[in-house]
Structure 1
Amino acid sequence: MSEKKPTEPSPQGIARSDRKRLAAEEGARALADAERQAIEVRKNMARLREVREAKEAADAVLKAALPAPMRKKRSTKPRI
């Protein structure tokens, strides 16, 4: 039986493992960044929705407080 001795990793193997580790770290950072941006977008959408709803409510109150506009009477002059 031939036993294999544990050998030292080759420079290519070390470089490959470093690339894999860096790629995994960058991927984790990218996912965290994307999730953070998604949370910020949802917060901003909620803020804008509240502002829009408050404006619509204020506009409705203002419209209810104003008298209805008078209708124009039709002219009896014949058009030429």
Structure 2
Amino acid sequence: MSAKKTAEPSPESVARAERQRLAAEEGARAVADVERRAVDIRKNMARLRELREAKEAADASLSASLPAPVPKKRARKLPR
């Protein structure tokens, strides 16, 4: 009877597999973090855009309701 030798992984291959697993997990966390930050940034940009557009609309309506500014007359230079 021939006994089959069970191939046990070497300590180096176990360590390499563990490093690869940890690197994959860290990579997935990093990608998720970048995506979450991108979503947060887009939400903030949309909020700021709405505020800016509301302010510009308010400024435009205010300037439209005010009378046109009267041009100032030039001051004369006094002789010395």
Taking structure 1 as the reference length, what is the TM-score of the superposition? 0.84
The residue type paired with residue 41 of structure 1 is I
Distance in 2, matches of 1:25 and 1:38, equals 20
| Structure 1 residue runs of 4 or more that deviate by more than 6 Å after TM superposition | none
User: Does residue 40 of the first structure (1) align with residue 28 of the second (2)?
Assistant: no
Rate the CA distance shift 1:6–1:58 in 2: closer, same or farther, 3 A: same
Q: CA RMSD in A?
A: 1.7
Taking structure 2 as the reference length, what is the TM-score of the superposition? 0.84
Identity %: 67
Which runs of 5 or more structure 2 residues have no equivalent in the other structure?
none
Identify the residue that residue 20 of structure 2 maps to in structure 1: 20
Identify the residue that residue 62 of structure 1 maps to in structure 2: 62
Q: CA deviation at 1:74?
A: 4.1
- Could you report, residue by residue, the CA deviation over 1:27-74 in whole angstroms, capped at 9, with x for unpaired residues? 001001000100100110010000000000000011011111111234
Which runs of 5 or more structure 1 residues have no equivalent in the other structure?
none
Identify the residue that residue 11 of structure 2 maps to in structure 1: 11
